[in-house]
């Protein structure tokens, strides 16, 4: 009869303590390097570990100390070119701190009881992207004292955590002011993003403020949903054009929407910027290569990611920090608004 192989049991911390003739607490002090041991004691501990081939369970140690040397990033989706510079900034700052970055997608189901894919068991803190979690879930996380920072979303008044947002309203107003003051536009469409998205809300508010400042009545028919999606925006604008309404400019709430606007105008035989001036928001990498190059708003996504990580580490290490960081933006003037074009 074939004998079963003998499986050698792994040595435990108690085995090491017994062989070295010291307490388990002394072995823990040696492993954690918190309090120096006498040289002779340290030598005996190391010899016992070597003899028994003892390897500390680092995962257990890290969990016991609440140290995973990992932070998490939660978002409804991580696809799309908007995420790339943001994640580059996050990854750069995380690596410089000697930490790892764990990415995960998550969508709340309305119950407030859905299990998070990343939590205390595998990260020390979280960066939470706009629209990822409901107020109930954010509050639960806050009450459990999980350190987190909110990205592109203002924390609710009852949740004292750091937040980082863009100065959307001022940027949008400045862009529409440019269309009115420099190019004389009066019939400006605004193709806004999702209704529940904070960036979309404040960009629409900036558009309306600019109209009011110039005494131009806000026409609800000139507010058109673009959903931050080129195909959706294209179809929405084609429907508007088909209605026969007259307009002289389009303020797209993001550059993806602007691409859809370009397509709809091209199909309708309307020339940019001679007949319709077009501006966007975000300054995505492709905007200088559109024909004509797109006038847009530059947003510091890389810096936003880097600063978010810094705020998160401050929260993890000190528990401090509940300020709202308003990131500056700037207009990038190109030819789609009519600047630099000979007509």
Structural domains in the chain plus CATH codes = 13-56 (1.10.260.40), 70-166+301-328 (3.40.50.2300), 168-299 (3.40.50.2300)
pLDDT in tens, 68-121: 899 999 999 888 788 999 999 999 999 999 999 999 998 766 555 567 888 878
Q: What is the mean pLDDT of residues 184-199?
A: 96
Looking at the chain, the whole-number percentage of residues with pLDDT higher than 90 is 68
Peptide bond before 256: cis, by omega within 30 degrees of 0? Answer: no
Whole-number average pLDDT of the chain: 89
HSE-CB at 40 with a 13 A cutoff on CA atoms is: 1
- Whether the predicted pLDDT of 2 surpasses 60: no
Q: What's residue 112's pLDDT?
A: 52
pLDDT at 110 (0 to 100):
58
In this predicted structure, what is the pLDDT of residue 198? Answer: 94
pTM for the predicted model, two decimal places: 0.79
């Amino acid at each position: 009869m074939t004998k079963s192989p003998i499986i050698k049991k792994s040595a435990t911390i108690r085995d090491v303590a017994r062989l070295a003739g010291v307490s388990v607490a002394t072995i823990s002090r040696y492993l954690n390097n918190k309090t120096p041991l006498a040289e002779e004691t340290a030598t005996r501990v190391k010899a016992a570990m070597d003899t028994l081939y003892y390897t500390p369970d680092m995962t257990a140690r890290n969990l016991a100390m609440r140290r995973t040397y990992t932070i998490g990033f939660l978002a409804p989706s991580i696809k799309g070119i908007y995420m790339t510079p943001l994640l580059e900034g996050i990854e750069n700052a995380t690596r410089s701190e000697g930490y790892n970055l764990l990415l995960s997608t998550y969508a709340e189901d309305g119950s407030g009881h859905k299990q998070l894919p990343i939590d205390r068991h595998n990260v020390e803190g979280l960066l939470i992207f706009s629209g990822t979690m409901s107020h109930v879930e954010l509050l639960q996380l806050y009450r459990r004292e999980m350190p987190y920072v909110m990205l592109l979303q203002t924390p609710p008044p009852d949740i004292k955590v750091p937040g980082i947002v863009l100065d959307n309203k001022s940027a949008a107003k400045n862009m529409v002011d440019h269309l009115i003051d420099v190019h004389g536009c009066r019939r400006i469409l605004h193709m806004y993003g999702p209704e529940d998205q904070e960036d979309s809300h404040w960009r629409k508010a900036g558009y309306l403020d600019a109209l009011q400042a110039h005494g131009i009545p806000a026409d609800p028919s000139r507010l058109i949903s673009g959903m931050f999606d080129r195909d959706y925006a294209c179809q929405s604008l084609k429907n508007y054009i088909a209605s026969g309404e007259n307009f002289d400019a389009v303020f797209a709430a993001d550059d993806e929407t602007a691409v859809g606007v370009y397509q709809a105008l091209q199909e309708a035989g309307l020339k940019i910027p001679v007949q319709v001036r077009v501006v966007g928001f975000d300054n995505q990498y492709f905007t200088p290569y559109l024909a004509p190059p797109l006038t847009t708003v530059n947003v510091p996504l890389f810096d936003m990611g880097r600063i978010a990580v810094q705020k998160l580490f401050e929260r993890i290490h000190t528990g401090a920090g509940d300020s709202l960081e308003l990131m500056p933006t700037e207009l990038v003037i190109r030819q789609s608004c009519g600047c630099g074009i000979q007509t």
